[in-house]
Structure 1
Amino acid sequence: MTRRGWLLFGTLSLFWGVPYLLIRIAVAEFDPVVVAFGRTAIGGLVLLPFALRARALRPLLSHWRWLLIYTGVEIVAPWVLLGHVETRLNSSTTGLLVAMVPIVAAIILTVTGHDRLGARRVTGLVIGFIGVALLVGLDIQVGDLIAILQILVVVIGYAIGPIIIAQKLHTLPAIGVITASLILASVVYAPFAFVLRPSTATPAAIGSVAVLAVVCTAAAFMVMFALIAESGPARMTLITYVNPAVAITLGALVLDEPITTGLLIGFPLIILGSILGTWRSAPPPSSSVATGPASAAVLDSDR
């Protein structure tokens, strides 16, 4: 990877590792749906001029059903649930649990016949699940089981979203898909956000939502497009393994979250499991995973 590629990679890793910290700060004062609305509405409006200039929205009309499904499973449900999770769990723990997305995606692709698992990948899945079990067993209280169920839904949604892109929307312009999804999600959130809006909020909470929308959503996607153009979509997968480290570090430095035994043991196991579980020495013969612009763009979108 070139020097510019590494710079873009580091920038995007930071942009997509920071949201867990910002969400944690924001949900202390805002309802999670208000945070999600602010993120999607502002982020979508920032990206809209770029999508219009690229004429990237009109091609979406013929794929509107799958676009709605993608928006629901990748943004609408996960982003609200993620906010609820962070009212119960530390941002570092949440970020690490979300790192299970590649493993869950590998399982879904295998079950649906679009991928296959060898011994190395099965070993990775087992290691990853052991890491999650230790993290949950050592750090999570019984009262937090609802948060675990919510994060499971988030992880499944994040895993299914890119699969929908790769199989149903891969021929569409990436910036069009992302911009439309953000705006559609904001429309869904809007009535709930209006009802649940707070009467007052601190600058810290407002600033967190603004940075989450402008930097961690809109700017992050623009950096992602530049990284794909510079180094190809394959590099995007690596960011999944860096995000938890950023989330854990920022949680400890900014929010004074403890570096627990569960994090120390679970982090290396989950990351190792994700690497091995998603290892592919050669594409499977029957693979339908596309490498078009949209599938590349959401390889690690969320975050």
Structure 2
Amino acid sequence: MELASVIRLLLLSAIWGSSFLFMRIAAPVLGPAMLIELRVGFAALFLLVVGYFLKKKLQLMQHWRHYFILGFFNSALPFLLLAYAAQTLSASLLSILNATASIWGAIISALWLRQALPMKKVCGLLIGVVGVAILVGFDNASLEPGAKLAIAASIGAAVCYGIASSYAHSAKSVEPFANAHGGMWASTILVLPTLLFFPVVETPSSNLLLSVVFLGVVCSGVAYLLYYRLISDVGASSALTVTFLIPIFGIFWGSVILQESIGWSTVVGTMVILLGTALVTGFSPRQVFAARKSKLR
């Protein structure tokens, strides 16, 4: 992997890892609905500007149903679930639970294609479940009021990402940038009615609003552009490495900015979940670099 791609990978991991930090800060103030409406709205506006300069068209009349399905499972619902969970759970715990998305993606893909899961993937799933059990069973945050529902919401968000990845893979006729752009506009519309059920808790400060702008423009808009550039440069298998790095940055940001404690269960649970994810997805660093070396030849 070239140095430029490594830098993009680390930058993307740091950005997506920081999204849990900003949700943890903003969700208790704005509530989940307003936070996510602003997040997807700012992301949609940013991608609109980028699309204008790149001369990228959405072809709304042809693909509007696709954008709404993708927007619902890839942004609107998982973002709302994570924002709801962020009112209770730490940024570290949110980022680690989110790492199970690859496991759910592999399972849903197998069900989608009606294919039996190989024993290796079944073992990976069981290991991932054990990792989640270690993580939440020995974490003091799981004892807080509403924590169990928040944990279920976080895992639900990961399941949504698995559904979205399987659906997007089956809809190859739409280019990646259009998926990101159209999905964000659809999410903006879909999240709007939820504002009636989750009112703003208190008036946000200007610094908090800047954090929300960063969450939308950088953690959603810019991150998507980086991710699709990585897929183009190094392939999907190498880009998958971001799944393993996001929890590391999520834990780092939570520890440095919010002074969240890192216990043994956090470290062990994370490692077990990532091991299960590697088995389910078939990810192997050796294969990634071997594929990259053959590509250079």
TM over 0.5: yes
Residue number in structure 1 paired with 2:19: 19
Listed as ranges, the matches of 1:200-211 within 5 Å are 200-211=203-214
Which of 236, 245, 248 aligns to 1:245? It is: 248
Residue number in structure 1 paired with 2:215: 212
Secondary structure of 1:253's partner?
A: helix
Secondary structure of 1:73's partner?
A: helix
Residue number in structure 2 paired with 1:113: 113
Residue number in structure 1 paired with 2:165: 162
Q: State the aligned residue count.
A: 280
**How far apart are the structure 2 equivalents of 1:53 and 1:226?**
17
**How far apart are the structure 2 equivalents of 1:224 and 1:264?**
26
Residue number in structure 2 paired with 1:186: 188
The C-alpha deviation readout for 1:180-223, integer Å capped at 9, x for no partner, is 11112112333544883466312332121011011111111222
Query: How far did residue 225 of structure 1 move?
Result: 2.9
Amino acid at match of 2:17: G
The answer as to whether partners of 2:29 and 2:200 remain within 8 angstroms in 1 is no
Query: How far did residue 61 of structure 1 move?
Result: 2.9
The answer as to whether partners of 2:95 and 2:247 remain within 8 angstroms in 1 is yes
Residue number in structure 2 paired with 1:131: 131
Bigger mean CA deviation after superposition, 231-240 or 187-196: 187-196
The answer as to whether partners of 1:60 and 1:172 remain within 8 angstroms in 2 is no
**How far apart are the structure 2 equivalents of 1:117 and 1:85?**
30
Residue number in structure 2 paired with 1:94: 94
| TM-score computed with the length of structure 2 as normaliser | 0.87
**How far apart are the structure 1 equivalents of 2:27 and 2:205?**
12
Query: How far did residue 54 of structure 1 move?
Result: 4.4
Structure 1 pair 197–251 and aligned structure 2 pair: CA distance change class (3 A): same
Please list every run of 5 or more consecutive structure 2 residues that lacks an aligned counterpart in the other structure. Answer: 285-297
**How far apart are the structure 1 equivalents of 2:144 and 2:204?**
31
Query: How far did residue 28 of structure 1 move?
Result: 2.7
**How far apart are the structure 2 equivalents of 1:124 and 1:190?**
38
The answer as to whether partners of 1:128 and 1:272 remain within 8 angstroms in 2 is yes
**How far apart are the structure 2 equivalents of 1:235 and 1:74?**
21
Structure 1 pair 57–198 and aligned structure 2 pair: CA distance change class (3 A): farther
Secondary structure of 1:258's partner?
A: coil
Listed as ranges, the matches of 1:256-295 within 5 Å are 256-279=259-282
Amino acid at match of 2:65: R
Residue 51 in structure 1 maps to residue 51 in structure 2: yes
**How far apart are the structure 1 equivalents of 2:195 and 2:116?**
42
**Aligned-pair identity (%):** 26
Q: CA RMSD in A?
A: 2.1
| TM-score computed with the length of structure 1 as normaliser | 0.85
The answer as to whether partners of 1:78 and 1:158 remain within 8 angstroms in 2 is yes
Which of 228, 232, 235 aligns to 1:229? It is: 232
Please list every run of 5 or more consecutive structure 1 residues that lacks an aligned counterpart in the other structure. Answer: 282-303
**How far apart are the structure 2 equivalents of 1:51 and 1:96?**
32
**How far apart are the structure 2 equivalents of 1:106 and 1:229?**
21
**How far apart are the structure 1 equivalents of 2:85 and 2:148?**
10
**How far apart are the structure 2 equivalents of 1:84 and 1:225?**
28
The answer as to whether partners of 1:96 and 1:267 remain within 8 angstroms in 2 is yes
**How far apart are the structure 2 equivalents of 1:66 and 1:99?**
25
Residue number in structure 2 paired with 1:285: none
Query: How far did residue 78 of structure 1 move?
Result: 1.0
